[in-house]
Copies of this chain bind each other. A is one copy, B any other.
Amino acid sequence: MAERRFSEDELIAQIFAPLAAEGGLGLADDAAVLPAGAELVVTTDAVIAGVHFFPDDPPALIARKALRVNLSDLAAKGAEPVGFLLTLALPADWTNAWLRDFAAGLAADARDFACPLYGGDTTATPGPLTVSITAFGRAARFVPRSGARPGDLVLVSGTIGDAALGLGAARGEPFAGKLGEAARTHLLGRYRLPQPRLALAAALRDHASAAMDVSDGLAGDLAKLLRASGASALVEIARVPLSQAAREAVALEPALLERALTGGDDYELLCCAPPSAAAPLEHAARASGVALTEIGVVAAGREPPAFIGRDGEQSRFEKPSFSHF
């Protein structure tokens, strides 16, 4: 027998209220109260079925991805999470079970990242599932995109390109069939569930001259950061950190290297820092368990970054950035 679907009030009280922050007033008011304090960092990002994830992805993963892409922005600005607001536009075929799983995923990440729910809005939509999240953070210092200076090192966290290759695997591209099982699983997982690098937020706040998260491809996002800073850069492709799985894919199909450097959804941190900060950043990275790899150097000029290959040739990317727009 089919369970009656939640009313909007039931949905809020039973499904989302358990996630509420103290200032969220039990999600029973029109607005919420954020704690007083220093400047607040705010960011917002939406994910839409068929654009940012597959409609039949597990609901817990959709919820976690929606929150994590916002947490990744906070991390890049050197901020610690304070909380978030959730706007959920549900297509006609939602079920109670789907919502329970969605909320369970959200609750797990809200707890793990100390980022409780402050409120939101639920509505019907004749279109695809749309999850819009606004996240709040605190930072003693906001790390801008615009602070990179010639001579600064360029660094990235984790590994680059896994998610773009994972999307290819999810779409059943030929290379994926030739990958080992472990590699395919790794790449798919990296596409489906970003890892916001909050463990590095404090190090960025203390040492980075500029930072952003890599969400639309390393080449394009570095170009954006440099444009905001009024600078250029030299990057050595061989130093860009690739996972074992990505190396396996590139060995099968060398053209995939370009996709790794330009594809979206990495959610790694890209930052610049003066050479004097190299040692403390390396120390912080080791302490946090997240690698931070030096890939190049900021240069004077206004050109997009030059990516230098093993042969010394500069690679140019036809489409340096991924766009959902």
Give chain A's interface residues, CB within 8 Å of chain B.
7-8, 23, 25, 28-46, 48, 50-52, 73-74, 76-77, 79, 85, 87, 89-90, 118-128, 130, 132, 134, 136-137, 142, 144-146, 212-213, 228, 323-325
Closest beta carbon of chain B to A31's beta carbon, Å: 4
Q: How far is the CA of A55 from the CA of B273 in the complex (A)?
A: 48
Assuming the A-B contacts A36-B37, A44-B87, are A30 and B212 also in contact, with contact meaning beta carbons closer than 8 angstroms in the complex?
Answer: yes
Given A31-B74, A145-B30, residue A127 in contact with residue B48 (CB < 8 A): yes
Instruction: Establish whether residues B51 and A30, one from each chain, have CB atoms under 8 Å apart when the complex forms.
Output: no
Residues of B within 8 A of A325 (CB): 7-8, 90, 122-124
Nearest-CB distance from A29 to chain B (Å)? 5
> Which 3 residue pairs across A and B have the least CB separation, nearest first?
A127-B127, A31-B43, A8-B325
Query: Which one of A8, A89, A324 has the greatest number of beta carbons of chain B within 10 Å?
Result: A89
In the complex, the count of this chain's copies comes to 2
> Given contacts A124-B325, A134-B85, are A79 and B44 in contact (CB under 8 A)?
no
Can you list 5 contacts pairing A with B, beta carbon distance less than 8 Å?
A: A31-B74, A32-B41, A33-B40, A52-B123, A126-B127
**Residue picked from A38, A87, A122, A125, most chain B C-beta under 10 Å:** A125
Contacts of A228 in B (CB 8 A): 28-29
Q: How far is the CB of A231 from chain B (nearest CB, A)?
A: 14
Q: Which residues of B contact A137 (CB under 8 A)?
A: 31
Please determine whether B85 and A42 come into contact, CB atoms closer than 8 angstroms. Answer: yes
Q: Given that A48-B89, A87-B132, A89-B130 are contacting pairs, would A31 and B73 also be in contact in the complex, using a CB cutoff of 8 Å?
A: yes
Most chain B C-beta atoms within 10 Å of own C-beta, residue among A44, A45, A77, A128: A44
